Amino acid sequence: MYEGLGVAAGAGLAVGAYAYASLWPGSRIFGAAITAPARSGELALTFDDGPNATWTPRLIDVLARHEARATFFLLGKRAAAQPELVRRIATAGHTIGNHSWSHPNLSRTRSSRVREELRQTSETLQQITGAPVKFFRPPFGARRPAVFRIARDLGMEPVLWNAMTSDWSEPSADRIAEHLMKKIDGLERRGRAANIVLHDGGHRDAAANREPSVKAAGLLLERYARSHRFVTLDAWI
Ligand SMILES: [Zn+2]
C-alpha cells in the first residue's frame, strides 16, 4: 500500500504499525514533530489548505476582532496565485507555514518530489513575505522518515496537531466548535496545550464552503478568550 513498507520492514517495525504511524499524529516513531507542549492555558489555532480568496480574509477579520494570532499552513500553488493575500496574512501578524505545493500524500511520494514540493513552496512564500518559513505540516498528516528529514534540511520544524475534527465535511459551526472544545478541555485536564486544526481552504476544491470553519474559529476565540492564551507555533520552539 505504501512505498515505504520496505523501509519499515528493515527497521523492524510491523507493517501494521508502520501504516498506522505514517498516518496518525501523536506517533513519535519518525522523530519529534511539534504537537503541543505539556502545559495548559495555551491554544494554537492553525489553518490548513489556504490561502482562499473568500474565507482567508474573513478569518483574518475574525482573528483581528479578538486580537489573536494564528498559524496558516499554505499550499504553495495557491499562495503563488494570490501573493497579496499571503502578504495580508503576514502583515496581520500571523505565522505562515508550508503545507506542500499541491497537497500530495507524502507517504507515497518519492523523495525527490517531496523535496521539490517543499522547496518550491518555501521559496515562493519567502519571496512573497520576505521571511524564511520555519514550519511544515504534511498534507493528511502523512509522512515517512524521509519527509521529516527533508523538511528539517530545508530549515523547517515538522508540525502535527492534537485537536482536529472533520470541519471540512461538517455543515454546522456549532458542531465543529463543540467537538474541538471537548478535545481542548480533555487536553487541558491532562495539562497539555492544544494544537487545533481548521481549514480555510479546500485542497481539492478552492470553491469549497469554509464558512462553518471560520465561524467555529470565532466560537473558540470567544469561549477561551479569558481563560487561555492564543499563540502561534513560534511560541513552541
Ligand atoms: Zn491539508
Chain position carrying cell 501523536:
26
Which residues are found with C-beta within 5 Å of the ion, ligand 1? 48-49, 139, 203
Closest CA to 179 of 152, 160, 192, 198: 198
C-alpha torsion 117→121→124→128, nearest 10: 170
Q: What pLDDT score does 144 carry?
A: 81
Which backbone phi and psi does 196 adopt, to 5 degrees?
-100, 130
Chain position carrying cell 517531496:
114
Q: What pLDDT score does 25 carry?
A: 53
CA angle 82, 69, 28 (to 5 degrees): 90
Identified catalytic residue from 94, 99, 103, 199: 199
Q: What pLDDT score does 31 carry?
A: 61
Per-residue model confidence as pLDDT tens digits over 153-186: 999 999 999 999 999 998 899 999 999 999 999 9
Tens of pLDDT along the chain (237 residues) come to: 333 333 333 344 444 454 545 555 544 445 679 999 999 999 999 999 999 999 999 999 999 999 999 999 999 999 999 999 999 999 999 999 999 999 999 999 999 999 999 999 999 999 999 999 999 999 999 878 899 999 999 999 999 999 999 999 988 999 999 999 999 999 999 999 999 999 999 999 999 999 999 999 999 999 999 999 999 999 999
Distance 216 CA to ligand 1 centre (A): 18
DSSP string, 100-156: -SS---GGGS-HHHHHHHHHHHHHHHHHHHSS---EE--GGG---HHHHHHHHHTT-
Which backbone phi and psi does 159 adopt, to 5 degrees?
-130, 135
Q: What pLDDT score does 106 carry?
A: 96
Q: Based on the residue annotation, tell me whether 203 is a catalytic residue of this protein.
A: no
Q: Based on the residue annotation, tell me whether 48 is a catalytic residue of this protein.
A: yes
Identified catalytic residue from 48, 49, 167, 200: 48
Tell whether omega for the bond before 51 is within 30 degrees of 0, i.e. cis. Answer: yes
Distance 28 CA to ligand 1 centre (A): 20
Q: What pLDDT score does 55 carry?
A: 98
pTM given for the model: 0.88
Distance 49 CA to ligand 1 centre (A): 5
Distance 84 CA to ligand 1 centre (A): 21
CA distance 161 to 123: 24
E strand residue ranges, the chain: 42-50, 71-74, 95-98, 135-136, 157-158, 194-199, 229-230
Compute the half-sphere exposure of residue 153: CA atoms within 13 Å on the CB side of its CA: 13
Distance 161 CA to ligand 1 centre (A): 12
